């Protein structure tokens, strides 16, 4: 072959390359549009759930996906009043020792079998009471579930458990089919990854790392619902990618703060989107500082009070949380109005007072202006805690307390704080849930000091009055008396300060403006979404 011929071939190759890229470009020039058909919606859950049923894992993403397929006995309205779900009516005996649920007639499992009281008894006694991380505590006092007929379930209690009534949503305490689980290794039952529930959506597929597809349950008991034919869940590990997907119109809905905090304002101002701040009133995740009372400085009440006075929490809410935070006055947020009390010791931002308290505790400033050093440990989840830690370090430095920031991953955090008590201050999301007996007793009661168990009393706090009060409140059937007890609880908690409450961060739900009914109650994105639509 002559050289000319060879270079001609080379040219041809080059032309081919050019042609190829031109073809690619022309293909790309057609605007991309996800072919979302009518009656479908794409939402995101972050991070990806690691199971489809929330009976064995209460991680928030699992609750969100499970809540579409599994149902509980009750729903809740914005006032946190129980509403019918699988139970149509319920009655609590005056002594608080039994709860009778009348079940909905004609409800079918996704596999066509009827839902009966036997399923309720099995779900509570064999699954939730045994394997549910929170349920083991919540259902601890349940001695039996009686089933006099297929549509009546009576929960028998050894002691009154008023908190139980607030833990019966489908995403928290799902009812599961006895015929699928009985006699199997329930933890490894295939239905945990492909649920058979009674909910408005049926499981179709889960491609890990990519997406989950749910479809309408045509036999759903609430006729005409759900409104969507298909619900797609797409996993976006990177928050910025979620922002782009929302803006490109590929993603319609995401809860639990799907976009970075600094983007929220822009989305709120953009008519193409809706941003909802409600819908987490049953979780009430608070950002708090737990003190390790084994530390010689933190053991002194004046030091803990001084630290509270040293933080300008108004400024903190604005700079760290971009204003998306409720500043806490105590351990119970305003989102639980029937328990909340403002009549507690307050700690306004006051540097002089903080300094005076620290002087009084006997810790004078040295030549460099430092009184003592503390370590602050927090889990690396997003970048909010990094910002919060830096803010706290600046604030504490002004009163002479040096803060060493220790940002670690979640398993390390749990091992260090709860396994080894190797911390001075720990910052973490403390979930109050819908009831302080479930969410807060574990942090403030000395019986909950259990080394090696995560998210319990790690401060080592022990106050006999507090202990007795919390134990009494947990079994008090009278709502009024119970509220009074929790008022006293808030006062002691803010006087003793084993935990310094910072804020309740507001986790927004972001939706395309065309989406409707994406937050209809306190269950927010965890709700069943039977009425969710995209017009």
Partner 1 sequence: MSAPRRNLPFRFIGKRILQAVLTILGIAIINFFLLQLAPGDAAEALAGEAGTADAGYLANLRREFGLDRPLWEQLATFLMRIATFNLGYSFRYGETISTLILSRLPATLLLMATSIVIALVIGILFGVTAARYFNRLPDRLISLVALLFYATPPFWIGLMMILVFSVWLGWAPTGGMRDITAPDGGIAGVFDIARHLALPALTQAFFYLAIYTRLVRAGMLEVLSLDYIRVARAKGISEQRVAYRHALRNAVLPLVTVVGTNIGGFLGGAVLTETVFSWPGIGRLMFDAMLQRDLNLLLSILVLSSVFVVIANLAVDLIYPVINPTVELR
Which 158-187 residues touch partner 1, going by CB under 8 A? 187
Per-position x/- string for 433-472, each x denoting binding to partner 1 as judged by CB under 8 A, each - no binding: ---------x-------x-xxxx-----------------
User: Exactly one of 67, 72, 137, 200 binds partner 1 (CB under 8 A); which one?
Assistant: 137
Does residue 27 touch partner 1 according to CB under 8 A? yes
Rule CB under 8 A: choose which of 413, 461, 486, 507 binds partner 1.
413
Q: What is the size of the binding site for partner 1 (CB under 8 A)?
A: 74
Contact 491, 342 (CB under 8 A): no
| Closer of 17 and 342 to partner 1 (Cβ) | 17
The span from the CA of 173 to the CA of 282, in Å, is: 13
- 28 vs 352, beta carbon nearer partner 1: 28
Quote the CA–CA distance of 371 and 119 in Å, as a whole number. 61
Q: How many CB atoms lie under 10 A from the CB of residue 298?
A: 22
Binding mask 355-374 for partner 1 (x = CB under 8 A): --------------------
> Which of residues 130 and 341 has its CB atom nearest to partner 1 in the complex?
130
Single out the residue of 43, 58, 147, 320 in contact with partner 1 (rule: CB under 8 A): 58
Other C-beta atoms within 10 Å of 251: how many? 25
Q: How far apart are CA 272 and CA 449, in angstroms?
A: 49
If we measure between CA atoms, which residue out of 290, 258, 295 comes closest to residue 274?
Answer: 258
Q: Which lies closer to partner 1 via its Cβ, residue 116 or residue 431?
A: 431
CB of 51 to partner 1, least distance (A): 6
User: Site residues for partner 1, window 243-272 (CB under 8 A)?
Assistant: 244-245, 247-248, 250
24 binds partner 1 (CB under 8 A): yes
Contact map string, positions 115 to 134, toward partner 1, x by CB under 8 A: ----------------x-xx
Q: Are 506 and 326 in contact (CB under 8 A)?
A: yes
Please, what is the minimum distance in Å from the beta carbon of residue 244 to partner 1? 4
> How does strand 273-276 pair with strand 285-291?
unpaired
CA distance 512 to 529: 15
Question: Residues 248, 34, 509, 410: is their CA dihedral positive or negative?
Answer: negative
3-state secondary structure of 381: coil
User: Judged by CB under 8 A, does residue 38 bind partner 1?
Assistant: no
| Of 145, 414, 494, 511, the one binding partner 1 by CB under 8 A | 414
Establish if 28 lies at the interface with partner 1 (CB under 8 A).
yes
Q: Which is nearer to partner 1, 176 or 344 (CB)?
A: 176
Least distance between partner 1 and beta carbon 311 (Å): 25
Q: What is d(CA 205, CA 208) in angstroms, rounded to the nearest whole number?
A: 9
The answer to whether 236 and 242 are in contact (CB under 8 A) is: yes
Per CB under 8 A, 227 contacts partner 1: no
The residue from 94, 188, 269, 480 that contacts partner 1 (CB under 8 A) is 188
Shortest CB 136 distance to partner 1, Å? 5
Q: Which is nearer to partner 1, 347 or 455 (CB)?
A: 455
135: Cα within 13 Å, side-chain hemisphere: 23
Interface residue with partner 1 among 35, 218, 464, 535 (CB under 8 A) is 35
Alpha carbons 121 and 128: distance in angstroms, whole number:
10
- Please state, in angstroms and as integers, the Cα–Cα distance from residue 495 to each residue in 62, 82, 448, 466, 471, following that order: 37, 33, 20, 11, 19
> Which lies closer to partner 1 via its Cβ, residue 54 or residue 198?
54
Instruction: Collect all residues with Cβ–Cβ distance below 8 Å to 139 and sequence separation of at least 6.
Output: 124, 128, 129, 132, 164
């Amino acid at each position: 072959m002559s050289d000319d011929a060879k270079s001609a071939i080379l040219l041809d190759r080059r032309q081919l390359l050019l042609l190829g890229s031109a073809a690619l470009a022309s293909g790309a020039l057609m605007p991309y549009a996800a072919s979302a058909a009518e009656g479908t919606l794409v939402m995101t859950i972050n991070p990806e759930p690691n199971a489809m049923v929330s009976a064995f894992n209460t991680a928030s993403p699992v609750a969100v996906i499970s809540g579409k397929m599994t149902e509980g006995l009750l729903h809740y309205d914005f006032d946190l009043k129980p509403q019918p779900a699988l139970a149509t009516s319920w009655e609590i005996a005056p002594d608080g020792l039994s709860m009778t649920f009348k079940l909905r007639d004609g409800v079918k499992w996704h596999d066509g079998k009827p839902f009966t009281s036997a399923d309720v008894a099995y779900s509570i006694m064999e699954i939730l009471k045994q394997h549910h991380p929170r349920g083991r505590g919540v259902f601890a006092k349940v001695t039996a579930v009686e089933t006099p007929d297929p549509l009546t379930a009576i929960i028998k209690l050894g002691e009154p458990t008023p908190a139980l009534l607030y833990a019966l949503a489908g995403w928290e305490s799902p009812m599961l089919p006895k015929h699928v689980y009985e006699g199997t290794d329930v933890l490894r039952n295939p239905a945990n990854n492909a649920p058979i529930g009674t909910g408005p959506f049926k499981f179709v597929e889960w491609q890990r790392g990519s997406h989950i597809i749910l479809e309408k349950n045509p036999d759903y008991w609430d006729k005409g619902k759900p409104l969507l034919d298909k619900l797609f869940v797409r996993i976006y590990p990177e928050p910025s990618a979620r922002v782009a997907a929302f803006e490109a119109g590929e993603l319609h809905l995401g809860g639990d703060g799907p976009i970075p905090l600094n983007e929220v304002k822009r989305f709120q101002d953009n008519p193409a989107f809706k941003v909802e701040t409600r819908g987490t009133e049953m979780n009430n995740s608070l950002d708090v500082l737990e003190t390790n009372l084994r530390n010689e400085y933190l053991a002194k009440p004046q030091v803990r009070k001084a630290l509270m006075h040293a933080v300008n929490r108004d400024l903190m809410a604005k700079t760290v949380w971009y204003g998306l935070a409720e500043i806490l006055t105590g351990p119970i947020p305003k989102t639980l109005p029937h328990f909340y009390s403002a009549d507690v010791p307050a700690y306004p931002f006051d540097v002089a007072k903080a300094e005076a308290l620290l002087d009084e505790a006997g810790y004078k400033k040295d030549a460099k202006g430092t009184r003592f050093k503390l370590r602050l440990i927090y889990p690396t989840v997003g970048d909010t805690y990094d910002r919060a830690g830096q803010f706290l370090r600046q604030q504490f430095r002004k009163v002479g307390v040096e803060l060493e920031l220790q940002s670690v991953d979640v398993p390390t955090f749990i091992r260090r704080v709860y396994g080894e008590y190797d911390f001075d201050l720990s910052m973490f999301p403390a979930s109050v849930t819908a009831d302080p007996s479930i969410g807060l007793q574990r942090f403030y009661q000395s019986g909950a000091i259990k080394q090696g168990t995560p998210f319990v009393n790690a401060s080592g706090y022990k106050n006999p009055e507090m202990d007795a009060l919390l134990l009494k409140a947990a079994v008090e059937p009278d709502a009024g008396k119970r509220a009074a007890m929790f008022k006293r609880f808030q006062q002691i908690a803010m006087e003793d300060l084993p935990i310094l409450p910072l804020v309740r961060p507001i986790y927004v739900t972001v939706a395309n403006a065309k989406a409707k009914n994406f937050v209809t109650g306190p269950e927010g994105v965890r709700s069943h979404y039977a009425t969710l639509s995209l017009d």
